[in-house]
Amino acid sequence: MDGILEPIFNSILDGNQRGVAAGVQAALDKGYDPEKVLKEAMIAAMQEVGRLFEEGEYFVPEMLVAARAMQGGLAILKPHLIQANIASSGKVIAGTVKGDLHDIGKNLVCMMLEGAAFEIVDLGSDVDPEKFVEAVKTTGAQIVAMSALLTTTMPNMKVTVEALKAAGVRENIKVMIGGAPVTEAYAKEIGADGYAPDASKAVTLAKSLVGLN
Ligand code: B1M
């Protein structure tokens, strides 16, 4: 990692929100590609935070301040990841499933979808299946996009698909899912319409689900 990306990486590990913001701004000022900054410094740092947590060197508070520092950097990066588009590609209801508070990946997916001219109805994190159902009934969206980061909350994706079926709205909507523990096989198993491993592939998938490519 070079001398521009490394301070961003280290500031996330230290939970230093100002350091991340300053580092991201410095990288942009130097003409760095925003996606490179995102992937090579910021997402890489969150992976390292996860590794340190697994090894017992970091605890929940450290994960939390790292996440806050990451969100601070994302706010600066956002306008650079979103390009101006004219026609709407469609509407997406997004949320992290019930019981799960991890929202950084979901927020990134929303940002990239916005950049591809999708309108986003962001339900936030820890979203009840009934809330997804209600949003499908009231927003006229074409896609439900669910995120989960915990193996223990992944089953709530299935519960949500079942709730959509029980409410009689499953046929009206495409369901896409993602998040670190989620797989293509799991998407098939629960009857989702698609899985994407990262935010840029989520855009390709969403476009294909609404017939745009
Ligand atoms: Co938590 N946490 N956490 N955590 N946390 C993980 C997920 C963990 C892997 C860490 C570890 O052990 N290595 C582990 C899960 C283990 C498991 O289930 N297999 C874990 C744990 C155990 C926990 C707690 C249970 C800890 C505890 O309390 N003892 C607890 C649970 C709380 C809860 O949710 N109920 C907990 C809490 C937290 C914080 C609140 C402190 C904080 C989250 C803050 C926040 O999000 N606002 C946090 C964090 C920061 C992490 C790690 C370190 C980083 C997650 C992250 O933001 N990554 C994480 C370790 C890791 O992921 N390696 C960890 C960056 C983000 C850009 O990546 O979210 O994967 P990601 O999103 C990617 C793709 O997955 C994909 O695109 C994104 C960008 O490319 N994607 C989609 C995501 N959603 C998608 C949807 C799509 C398509 C693609 O379509 C709809």
CA atoms within 13 A on the CB side of 135: 24
Instruction: Tell me: pLDDT of 213 over 80.
Output: no
Ligand 1 site residues, Cβ closer than 6 angstroms: 43, 46-47, 49-50, 53-54, 60, 63-64, 66-67, 99-106, 108-109, 145-147, 149-152, 176-181, 196, 198-199, 202
What's the pLDDT at 116? 81
pLDDT tens figures, 126-154: 999 999 999 999 999 999 999 999 999 99
Among candidates 194, 186, 149, 144, which has minimal Cα distance to 167? 144
The pick from 126, 149, 183 for probing ligand 1's pocket by mutation, whose C-beta has the most ligand atoms within 8 angstroms, reads: 149
pLDDT tens figures, 35-44: 999 999 999 9
Residue whose pair of structure tokens reads 């439900």 in the numeric block: 144
Cα gap 109→118, rounded to integer Å: 11
pLDDT tens figures, 82-129: 765 557 889 999 999 999 999 999 998 998 888 788 999 999 999 999
Cα gap 14→19, rounded to integer Å: 9
pTM: 0.92
CA distances from 82 to 85, 93, 106, 113, 170 (A): 9, 18, 15, 8, 30
What's the pLDDT at 88? 80
